[in-house]
Structure 1
Amino acid sequence: MTETNGTVHSGVQPGVHPGIQPRPVVGRLPKYVAGKPPEAVSGLESFKLSSNENPLGPVPAVLEVLRGTLDVHRYPDTSCTLLRNALSNFLEVPADDVVTGAGSLGALNQILAAFAGQNSDGSQDEVVYAWRSFEAYPICVGLAGAKSVQVPVRADGSHDLDAMAAAVTKQTKVVLLCTPNNPTGPVLGSQESESFIQSIPSDVVIVIDEAYQEFVRAEDALNGVDLYRKYPNVLVLRTFSKAHGLAGLRVGYSISQPSITGFLRSVATPFAVSGVAEQAAVASLENYDQVVERVQSLVDERTRVVAGLTDLGWDIPDAQGNFVWLNLGTNSQEFAGLAQSHALSLRAFGDEGVRVTIGEAEANTRFLEICTSYTKEPRRS
């Protein structure tokens, strides 16, 4: 410490304040890595296949809503009454069982804030989930003050429900089930999921994250809404970001029985869903037949991509979302770099694998062409 003209200096560089520190958990959190945009390559149109976005965008009625929005100077209805009523009719559930959030991620944060964190004695609640799964899970759990319990997925990228059930302890407050699993792709079956739910204590909240539900074509796939109706501790997450093409508007929601919804509303961020986002979501539901057509076109492209990879002898997990998973291991960064040199951005996860969003037909064709020339094909571990 030195003193100059009556001012005490600590020797710290200007602008650095050693006394201002975040909670210790912040330094331990993994960093969320958003999908990068593609690099420009001369002579090639660039395509972004790194963020599981819907390349077709929203239906025309949504664009009309966006063009006609003039009241952005007003606060939205914090209860999202119009949207909850629309979802009530669409899903045949009580409107009071729907709680909106800023995307399904915002809705998830509300769940964790209500049910999992650090207790007054310093102990941490536990949140059990498969891994690898949605990369925001450990961030959200950590910020809530709870402890992540990660259960490895099987070699085929699916949840190991027996291992997850075994990981549940008296400290477990929430279990997260991601179906289809992002980024690996497989879904959970209806019967296996119900058996799992029945094996878990009824005071543990089971969250079924169905962000990609509209893309599922597996006949035995679970339907979270059916299970929420049967089990009071089951909560469903869904979003308008993927199938509806509203990722930039941030509209998601949870569905749960009244024993849960009251707590969620107590911790919900006020005005999390903007008025224009609510109107856009309602317009998309009102034109759901068009949404279905767009989703089916992407599913058709997914089928083409999977068939092309299979013809090459590439071993990939069952793809039920709007993406495919390449288990490239230590070759992941190399392959992503190769794609980037061809004006395609993919999402590489360290040395684990690469997730490729189903995009425009031209982008998917170029991706398959790159795979044709790549000799280090993925295999199941």
Structure 2
Amino acid sequence: MTDDHARGVAAGEPQDVEGAEAVVHLREALYGVPVYKPGKPPTVVPDVVPYKMSSNENPFPPLPGVVEAVSEAARAMNRYPDMGGAELRTAIAADLGVSPEEIVPGTGSSGVLSAIVGASCEAGDEVVYAWRSFEAYPIMVALSGARSVQVPVTEDGRHDLAAMSAAITPDTRLVLVCSPNNPTGPAVGAAELEEFLSTVPEGVLVVLDEAYLEFVRDEAAVDGLAVYRAHPNVVLLRTFSKAYGLAGLRVGYAVARPRLATALRSCVIPFAVSDLAARAAIASLGAKKELFERVEHLVEERGRMLAALRDLGYDVPDTQSNFLWLPLEELAEGFAEAADARGLSVRPFAGEGVRVSVEVPEANDRLLEVARDFRGQAS
């Protein structure tokens, strides 16, 4: 593919791909697929420790026993992993109090969600979700040929569930609810979700994306497992990438009714979860005490940053995740540049805001200094 053609595809211009001997046609749906933008690494600044606060990663190393489990599994990397992920499914199921038949592992929650979208949607269908929310949603919907129906979040970054209910049509096949919402932070309330679900046709699948579940401290927030047990059309989506600190190994899973779970497992790429990743996830489930201690530390740091940013005059919404949202609008990219100059990478969304991951205290302190100085320059 030439550079000019690559630019054309990225810009959404339909065209054939010129090969050495043939012209290859690509699916029309590809030309409307947005490009995923990962969090960038920090710029190296002399005499300053760089910190990546742009990808919502866990700053702690793997939990106790994980490195040893991975090292042992590495001795058999010449063999394929268990395609069905039986041991991993059993461990997750035991942790949640469900059956292994209800667990669908995949390469992170994104990998599993891709299978869900592919299994439930085709050209002409609609997928309803809040916006702004997780960047992968519009990409996965576009790849399926379906159409995104994006419902704006409220001024305080929350899902507008009444508006999402009103957006459901006979063409809706899937609804995505991200709680806590990425990148704005608030969690969906249990009562409001129940009211919303009472309006959703039973043939419409509702995915409750709980990637940041472990960081939730709002007592009014939704209890995913309770909702799942009460509503047959609800699927839970979870990951080991965030609180468990396995972002580099890509392990996530869905919890779904057995019949649906069987169908979804057939849509997941064969051998998607490596044996190394599966062993790491299983070992992580056995280190809950250490997990909760680390998560609680991050929650405390989150609260400290939230209070400090609000004291500085930033209109930061409530957050139940391991990140904070600064709705800076046209100042978003300027703030990101100011942070980068201090060896910190954050995640700007042009014209909307900046997402800042909670890191170690030193990084968080420096971020607050950037925020204080930037506030002074902007006023």
Q: Distance in 2 between matches of 1:372 and 1:23?
A: 48
- The answer to whether the 8 Å contact 1:44/1:343 transfers is yes
| Deviations 1:308-360 (CA, angstroms, capped at 9, x unpaired) | 11211211111111000000100111110000000000000111110000011
- Report the Cα offset of residue 60 of structure 1: 2.2
How much does 1:64 deviate?
Answer: 1.2
Identity of aligned residues (%): 49
Q: How far did 1:18 drift?
A: 8.1
TM-score normalised by structure 1 residue count = 0.92
Q: Which residue type is aligned with residue 76 of structure 2?
A: D
Query: Could you say which residue in structure 2 is the equivalent of 1:115?
Result: 120
SS, match of residue 90 in structure 1: helix
- Higher-Rg structure is 1
Residues 122-172 of structure 1 deviation map (CA, whole Å, 9 limit, x = unaligned): xx1100000000000000011111111000000000000000000000000
1:212 equivalent in alignment to 2:212: yes
Q: Distance in 2 between matches of 1:145 and 1:232?
A: 26
> Do 1:331 and 1:376's aligned partners in 2 also have CA atoms closer than 8 Å?
no
Q: C-alpha displacement at 1:22, in angstroms?
A: 2.1
Deviation at 1:258, TM superposition (A): 2.0
Alignment of 1:223-238 (within 5 A): 223-238=223-238
SS in 1 for 2:151: strand
Deviating above 6 A after TM superposition, structure 1's stretches of 4 or more consecutive aligned residues are 12-18
Per the alignment, residue 24 of structure 1 pairs with 28
Query: For 1:348, what is the secondary structure of its paired residue?
Result: strand
Q: Does 1:58 align with 2:62?
A: yes
CA distance in 1, matches of 2:61, 2:121: 35
SS of 2:375 mapped into structure 1: coil
Alignment of 1:255-294 (within 5 A): 255-294=255-294
Q: Are the equivalent residues in 1 in contact too, given 2:17–2:23 (CA < 8 A)?
A: no
CA 16–55 in structure 1, closer or farther in 2 if over 3 Å, else same? farther
Distance in 1 (CA, whole Å) between partners of 2:58 and 2:29 is: 34
Contact 1:128 1:150 in 2 (8 A): yes
- 8 Å Cα contact 1:55-1:360 kept in structure 2: yes
Cα deviation code 1:84-136 (max 9, x no counterpart): 11111111011110111110001101111111112xxxxx1100000000000
AA aligned opposite 1:67:
S
**Given the alignment of the two structures, is residue 41 of structure 1 paired with residue 45 of structure 2, yes or no?**
yes
Question: Where does 1:351-366 land on structure 2 (aligned, <5 Å)?
Answer: 351-366=351-366
Alignment length (residue pairs): 362
Does residue 77 (structure 1) correspond to residue 82 (structure 2)? The answer is: yes
Q: Secondary structure at the match of 1:249?
A: coil
Is the counterpart of residue 133 in structure 1 residue 133 in structure 2?
yes
Aligned: 1:186 with 2:191: no
Give the letter for the 2:38 counterpart: A
Preserved CA contact (<8 Å) 1:113 1:144: yes
1:358 and 1:63 map into 2 onto residues whose CA distance is: 24
Q: CA shift at 1:15, angstroms?
A: 6.5
Matched letter for residue 42 of structure 1 = P
The answer to whether the Cα contact below 8 Å between 2:338 and 2:374 also exists between their aligned partners in 1 is: no
Q: Provide the aligned C-alpha RMSD in A.
A: 1.8
Q: Residue 206 of structure 1: SS of its match in structure 2? A: strand
> Is the Cα contact below 8 Å between 2:17 and 2:24 reproduced in 1?
no
Structure 1 counterpart of 2:238, which letter? R
TM-score (norm 2): 0.93
Is the 2:64–2:287 contact (alpha carbons within 8 Å) kept by the matching residues of 1?
A: no
C-alpha distance after superposition, 1:265-304 (max 9, x if no partner): 2212111100010010000001111111111111111011
